[in-house]
Structure 1
Amino acid sequence: MYIGIKHLHSGLAYLALVALVIVIIYALVGSLSNREFTEKDRKFALIAFILSHVQLLVGLVLYFVSPVGISLLSGEAMKDPVARLTTLEHPLINILAIVFITLGYTRAKKSELSRAKFRSIYMMYAIGLVLILSRIPWSNWLG
């Protein structure tokens, strides 16, 4: 079960990252071109929103079923940069990133002006993306 969830978390990460990048670019272009925010635009943002949230849920499940998840939460593990990244930094920063993505999507839904909707999506999704990229354990993921 652990291996399957780990592979799902890694594979889904590619989809979530690509979706975030596409939506950020799409919303930026929409804002700069002053075009009307449509239902299609909302659905694109929703796809990235859903993928990032599913990725978070799979990651949280992985955290609790992993042999190295919670067991590393100790003072000694916090001295090891790799253990600290896996155990503390990666989960917390990614939860924060999902909060920013959620805020962007929610603010876009509540905004009246198209430009404000686009701006909310590209700014908040971009902050979320940068946070996610900053805490990916690249050596584990690509190795």
Structure 2
Amino acid sequence: MYTGIQHLHSGVAYLALLALIVVIIYALIGALSGREFTEKDRKIALIAFILSHIQLLVGLILYFVSPLGFSLLQGGGAMSDPAARLTAVEHPLINIVAIVLITIGYSRAKKLGSSRAKFRSIYMMYAVGLVLILSRIPWANWLN
């Protein structure tokens, strides 16, 4: 079960990162071109929103079933080891913050009046979320 969840977490990560990049570029082009924010634009942003939330859910499940997640904190040595701290504290915490920012960007875009403001809310908050996510990916574990 653990291995399957781990593979799912890695696979969805590729989809979520790709979707975030596409939505950021799409929203930036929409804002700069001055075109109208349509239902299609909202649905495209929703895809990245949903994928990042699925990634968070799978990651939280993995955090509690993995020997590298929550159990590292119980041993007491996680904070002194940079790799263990990244896995047990920094990666989950920063990614939760990133998903919150993505959620705020999407929610604000639904409430704003002008198309430019909607596009701007999406590309700015999604971009900050993406940077946070990229900053705390355990690259040594992920690329193996």
- TM-score, length-scaled by structure 2: 0.98
**Alignment-mate amino acid for residue 71 of structure 1:** S
Equivalent residue of 1:37, what SS? coil
One-letter amino acid matched to 1:55: Q
Distance across 1 between alignment mates of 2:119 and 2:67? 42
SS in 2 for 1:89: helix
Instruction: Name the SS of the counterpart of 1:79 in structure 2.
Output: coil
How far is 1:71 from its partner?
1.2
What pairs with 1:21-32 in structure 2 (closer than 5 Å)? Answer: 21-32=21-32
Of residues 118-127 and 64-73 in structure 1, the stretch that sits farther from structure 2 once superposed is 64-73
Deviations 1:108-139 (A, max 9, x none): 00001000000000000000000000000000
More off after superposition, 51-60 vs 61-70: 61-70
1:114-125 matched pairs, under 5 angstroms: 114-125=115-126
Q: Provide the secondary structure at the position in 2 that maps to 1:84.
A: helix
Q: Find the counterpart in structure 2 of residue 40 from structure 1.
A: 40
Pair 1:101 & 2:132 matched? no
Unaligned ranges ≥5, structure 2: none
Letter aligned with residue 28 of structure 1: L
Provide the alpha-carbon RMSD of the alignment: 0.7
Say which is worse superposed, 24-33 or 72-81, in terms of deviation: 72-81
Equivalents in 1 of 2:80, 2:49: separation in Å? 34
Unaligned runs of 5+ residues in structure 1 are none
CA distance in 1, matches of 2:68, 2:34: 49
Matches of 1:125 and 1:16 in 2, distance apart? 11
In the TM superposition, what is the alpha-carbon distance from 1:69 to its structure 2 partner? 1.4
Question: TM-score, normalised to structure 1's length?
Answer: 0.98
How many angstroms apart in 2 are the aligned matches of 1:75 and 1:127? 32
Partner of 2:114: 113
Give how far 1:68 is off: 2.0
Residue in 1 that maps onto 2:127? 126
Match of residue 79 from structure 1: 80
Q: What's the % identity of the aligned pairs? A: 79
Partner Cα separation in structure 1 for residue 124 and residue 105 of structure 2: 7
The letter of the residue matching 2:135 is S
For the residues of structure 2 that align with 1:91 and 1:8, how far apart are their CA atoms?
16
Runs of 4+ in 1 over 6 A off after TM superposition: none
CA distance in 2, matches of 1:26, 1:76: 44
